[in-house]
Amino acid sequence: MHKITPAAFAELRDARAVRPDQIAAAFAARKRRPVLGDDGRLFIVAADHPARGALSVGDEPMAMADRYVLLERLATALSHPAVDGVLGTPDIIDDLALLGALDDKVVVGSMNRGGLRGSVFEIDDRYTSYDVQTMVARGIDFAKALVRIDLDDPATPRTLAETARVVGEAASAGLPIMLEPFISARHDGRVVNDLTTDSVIRSIAIASALGADSAYTWMKLPVVADMERVVASTTMPVLLLGGDSGEDPDERFASWERALALPGVRGLTVGRTLLYPPDGDVLGAVDVAARMVHPTLGAGASTDTRIEHAVKERA
């Protein structure tokens, strides 16, 4: 695990309390990179779950509650040379900026986190986090929005309309935006996403048409059965959603690898599966996924050597 020193955490807390302008300064000084690298692929680590009140990993309901541990796990993942970036809400992204962890990384801003997990208003997914204006001002590279479509919930049209609005705003600003669509429904009081192939395809068809300008829209899609049909349902760039399910890790990684080989698939976005692996080896879990997204990673210096160098550079 890449340890962040107590002094660095103390400096972060002090900056937030008495020097909040340092956050904007950290973004202004950040070294940016193109969204896609030379191989045209993208590997993003996601950490926007806490903002929805989703702190559980596996059978541990508060696994993500310790912010210091989460930041250390994110710093560990970002130290890997083949991790292209991070997806998060402003609180997490601002912390990482103050810690100097965002240089040469793609930063993805999570926008709608108002549909709190387990709430009666979960489908009314308000845009309570990043907005386009702030992302452009801060130099955020990419936007992300969740699009859950519940045909029995009257809040769905409002969520769709708000998403259409931000898609248009992002396009006008030249800001890529990834939409994560699902057909959803309540079962025993819980919102459950329908991961059948046909439902995923329907969700893509609906989400693809949101907004007056689709030029900057990407799709963030779950890996389900018959991914060939899923990917064939859109011409938009696709990032795979690495699920947090309890399935066999070997089979999960194998399913990602098969899907990554399909036309139009540009990479992978994964959260808790890699940040909180069962064996606690964040860098090892990240490395397995990184080799799938960037198969040329081993060219030149070995992966282990490149990781060691990157960790020393960040220490």
Tokens 């986190």 belong to which residue? 113
* Mean pLDDT, the chain, integer: 91
Contact 231, 252 (CB under 8 A): no
Give per-residue pLDDT as tens, 94-126. 999 999 999 999 999 999 999 999 999 999 999
Tokens 């963030």 belong to which residue? 220
Q: Is 208 helix (H, G, I), strand (E, B) or coil?
A: helix
Q: What pLDDT score was predicted for residue 212?
A: 97
Give per-residue pLDDT as tens, 232-268. 999 999 999 986 545 677 788 889 999 999 999 999 9
Dihedral of the alpha carbons of 264, 235, 144, 188, in degrees to the nearest 10: -100
- 141: closest CA among 35, 263, 215? 35
Where the chain has pLDDT below 70, the residues are: 1, 243-247, 297-315
CATH number of the structural domain 6-314:
3.20.20.70
Cα angle vertex 218, ends 160, 50, to 5°? 70
Residue 230: CA atoms inside 13 Å, Cβ hemisphere, count? 27
User: At a CB cut-off of 8 Å and minimum separation 6, what does 287 contact?
Assistant: 80, 82, 303, 307
What is the reported pTM? 0.91
Instruction: With residue 308 as reference, give the H or E element that holds it.
Output: helix 303-314
Please state, in angstroms and rounded to a whole number, the distance separating the CA atoms of residues 45 and 271: 5
E-only strand ranges, 121-280? 142-149, 177-187, 190-193, 217-222, 238-242, 265-270
| Two tokens, residue 251 | 């089979």
